Amino acid sequence: MSDHDVEATRIRLEKIMAELVDANSSAKQAAATVNLDQSRVGRLSRMDALQNQAISQSALAMRKQEIQLVKSALRRLDSGDYGLCVVCDEAIDPRRLDHNPAAPMCIQCAEQAERVV
């Protein structure tokens, strides 16, 4: 990878990281504990609030995983291992990295990992 490519990738990853952190910050309130006064709020409204809370908590957890993937990609970029599959150590297709610059595995290893889960 050329120095220009490394810097362009770093900038892209840092932008993704900032977007994820910002989204998490604004979503934390929606995922907070729901306190509803049962004397003022109906059963369906409570159920709706609890469902929205669960969705927000799930989204927070997913973004947290994405943040970890981006941090790992930045570490691989610093160590010179970026673009190599963390499982088989083969080069990751550049089209895959264009689509998802934080992808830690080549498509074959990613598919194999999905089958295991």
Q: What are the tens digits of pLDDT across the range 64-117? A: 999 999 999 999 999 999 999 999 999 999 999 999 999 999 999 999 999 986
Q: Give the bridge partners for 84, in sequence order.
A: 91
57/1: higher pLDDT: 57
How many other C-beta atoms can be found within 10 angstroms of the C-beta atom of residue 60? Answer: 16
Question: Residue 49: its pLDDT value, please?
Answer: 75
Question: Which pLDDT does position 7 carry in this prediction?
Answer: 93
Task: Identify whether the C-beta of residue 10 lies closer than 8 Å to the C-beta of residue 73.
Answer: no
List the chain domain ranges: 1-80, 83-117
Q: What is the pTM of this model?
A: 0.76
Mean pLDDT of the chain: 86
- Please report the pLDDT score of residue 37 as a whole number: 57
Q: What is the DSSP string of 71-109?
A: HHHHHHHHHT-TTB-TTT-PBPPHHHHHH-TT--S-HHH
User: Predicted confidence band at 18 (pLDDT cuts at 50, 70, 90)?
Assistant: very high
Q: Are 30 and 48 in contact (CB under 8 A)?
A: no
